[in-house]
Amino acid sequence: MRTNSNALGAAFIETQAKVLAHLTEKYAANRKVEADKVGEPVIWARGPEDAKKLVRAFMADPNTKIDFLSDLTAYDNKDGEDGDERFVLVYQLYSLELHTRIRVKCLLGEIQPAETLVDIWEGANWLEREVYDMFGIKFNGHPNLRRIMMDERFSGHPLRKEYPIKQREGFSDNIAFHLGANPLEVSTHVQISEESK
């Protein structure tokens, strides 16, 4: 049996509209609730603690039934386009039952930590580590907050707007990794010379 993609698309848009109306009715009095350019609901939390409370509320709410963290990321708000704080933390949530999405956004100050979601979804572990690695945003309660993509010796956070784009960090040493009984030597970084540019 072939499904009509137009019917599925229309059902998705209708469900998203219902969720947006529900969020607007329930939360718009003290939080900004809006739709993105494709109609998906976006709600701005009042801070990191409120963001976590919203996630829990959406999980318990029969009108949203959130049960999956699709993504967790951030962006540098240094230009102040989305408010006075330095960063915007973004939680992309999904309901497997209702097939609907909710995006929770939260403004964070330069050194203000966020709250971990690892106690709710173990999959948040590596997502939070990536945000820490790229932006320097810390997560209260995270079980193992350390770099995940960059070398531990790397200085800075490459997705911050002040990070110098042309900067390259080369480490001249190699780290020996052991796979079983045979050592394998792998260079963790490559030296960038003027000749290779």
Write down the pLDDT at residue 3. 59
- Tens digit of pLDDT for each residue in 93-129? 999 999 999 999 999 999 999 999 999 999 999 999 9
Q: What is the pairing mode between strands 100-108 and 114-115? A: unpaired
Write down the pLDDT at residue 176. 54
The distance from CA 157 to its chain's CA centroid, rounded to whole angstroms, is: 15
Burial class (CB in 10 A: 0-12, 13-18, 19+), 14: exposed
The answer to whether residues 18 and 40 touch, using CB atoms and an 8 Å cutoff, is no
Write down the pLDDT at residue 98. 93
Cα 56–27–47 angle (5° rounding)? 60
CA 138 to each of CA 54, 151, 182: distance values in angstroms, whole numbers, following the listed order: 19, 17, 37
Is the pLDDT at 39 greater than 50? The verdict is yes
* CATH class of segment(s) 5-148: alpha beta
Residue 48 makes CB contacts below 8 A (sequence gap 6+) with: 89, 106, 108, 112, 113, 114, 115, 140
- Tens digit of pLDDT for each residue in 74-84? 999 999 999 99
The answer to whether residues 89 and 76 touch, using CB atoms and an 8 Å cutoff, is no
State the CB neighbour count (10 A cutoff) for residue 39. 14
Q: Once rounded to an integer, what is the mean pLDDT over residues 53-77?
A: 98
Is the pLDDT at 196 greater than 80? The verdict is no
Q: Which residue ranges make up each domain of the chain?
A: 5-148
